[in-house]
């Protein structure tokens, strides 16, 4: 006899790292430790799916959906950079997502990628099939195939290039971010009562803002907390 397990008393808390990063990223570890002290497990997902070399946004999204669990589960998603875009794209089509905390999200990801790689870099990437990147998780050089860019352009072109997110969303973005343009966060948040944008004097890694991130996320997510220890 199949028995459906009861859902958690509170939502699952999941952390989605950024491009060429991993579950051991500084922000992910710091936030997981912060919430562990409050009896909340923030699960840090591995989004290097199916691998860094053959990274695909669709595989990243599938990994998140599987981590949420069953149909009756709910989840809060923390997403950094590309993980932020992934969180948005999952949230717009999966009603189990009840809130987002986005850290320097890579909104309009293909535009951000083109700006970062450059016209000539994009041409070489398409011609050779590969682009060299710094693998932050492994602390060495790596590469990603052009299929990532091709798929990213298709998926991130949905709904006019902007994620159609309807759940409460907190964005924290640095004004000195030279990787993901803060103007995209400003434009997306404008006029949306369910989206709160906090700008900080920091760069893409938000190294100087970890305390602020934790405090603002605590306040923002207060209504979503389950009983202590859940």
Segment 159-200, tens digit of pLDDT: 899 999 999 999 999 999 999 999 999 999 999 999 999 999
- Token look-up 């710091």 returns 30
Tell me the helix, strand and coil percentages in the chain, rounded to 5: 40, 20, 40
Task: Report, in angstroms and rounded to the nearest whole number, the Rg of the chain calculated over CA atoms.
Answer: 17
What's the rounded mean pLDDT across residues 115-133? 97
- Neighbouring-strand partners of residue 13: 42, 76
The pLDDT of residue 223 is 92
- CA pair distance 167, 125, nearest whole angstrom: 36
Share of the chain above pLDDT 70, in %: 94
Query: Treating both helix axes as pointing N-terminal to C-terminal, what angle do 109-117 and 147-155 enclose, rounded to 10 degrees?
Result: 140
Sorted by sequence, the CB contacts under 8 Å of residue 54 that are 6+ apart come out as 144, 145, 147, 148
The pLDDT of residue 227 is 54
Phi and psi at residue 70, in whole multiples of 5°? Answer: -80, 180
| Residue-range domains of the chain with CATH | 12-224 (3.40.50.1820)
pLDDT digits (tens, 9 = 90+) for 132-149: 999 999 999 999 999 999
The pLDDT of residue 229 is 42
- CA pair distance 206, 183, nearest whole angstrom: 16
Task: Report pTM.
Answer: 0.94
Sorted by sequence, the CB contacts under 8 Å of residue 114 that are 6+ apart come out as 122
The band of 226, judged by pLDDT with boundaries at 50, 70 and 90, is: low
Q: How is residue 63 written in tokens?
A: 């990994």
pLDDT digits (tens, 9 = 90+) for 20-76: 999 999 999 999 999 999 999 999 999 999 999 999 999 999 999 999 999 999 999
**DSSP states along 4-59:** PPPPPSS-EEEEE--TT--TT-HHHHHHHHHHHTTT--EEE-----S-STT--HHH
1 or 110: which carries more pLDDT confidence?
110
The pLDDT of residue 225 is 81
Q: Are 22 and 114 in contact (CB under 8 A)?
A: no
Q: Is the dihedral of CA 18, 23, 29, 33 positive or negative?
A: positive
Residue 103, pLDDT above cutoff 90? yes
């Amino acid at each position: 006899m199949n028995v459906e397990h009861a859902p958690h008393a509170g939502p699952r808390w999941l952390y989605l790292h950024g491009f060429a990063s991993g579950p051991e990223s500084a922000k992910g570890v710091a936030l997981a430790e912060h919430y562990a002290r409050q009896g909340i497990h923030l699960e840090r997902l591995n989004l290097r799916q199916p691998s860094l070399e053959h990274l695909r946004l669709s595989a990243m999204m599938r990994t998140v959906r599987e981590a949420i669990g069953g149909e009756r589960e709910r989840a809060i998603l923390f997403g950094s950079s590309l993980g932020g875009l992934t969180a948005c794209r999952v949230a717009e089509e999966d009603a189990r997502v009840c809130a987002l905390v986005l850290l320097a999200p890579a909104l309009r990801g293909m535009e951000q990628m083109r700006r970062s790689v450059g016209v000539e870099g994009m041409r070489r990437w398409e011609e050779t099939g590969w682009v060299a990147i710094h693998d932050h998780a492994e602390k060495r050089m790596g590469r990603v195939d052009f299929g990532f860019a091709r798929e990213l352009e298709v998926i991130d072109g949905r709904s006019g290039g902007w994620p159609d997110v309807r759940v409460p969303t907190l964005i924290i973005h640095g004004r000195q971010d030279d990787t993901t343009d803060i103007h995209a966060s400003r434009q997306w948040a404008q006029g949306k009562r369910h989206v709160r944008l906090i700008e900080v004097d920091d760069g893409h890694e938000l190294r100087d803002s970890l305390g602020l991130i934790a405090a603002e996320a605590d306040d923002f997510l207060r209504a979503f907390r389950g009983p202590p220890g859940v």
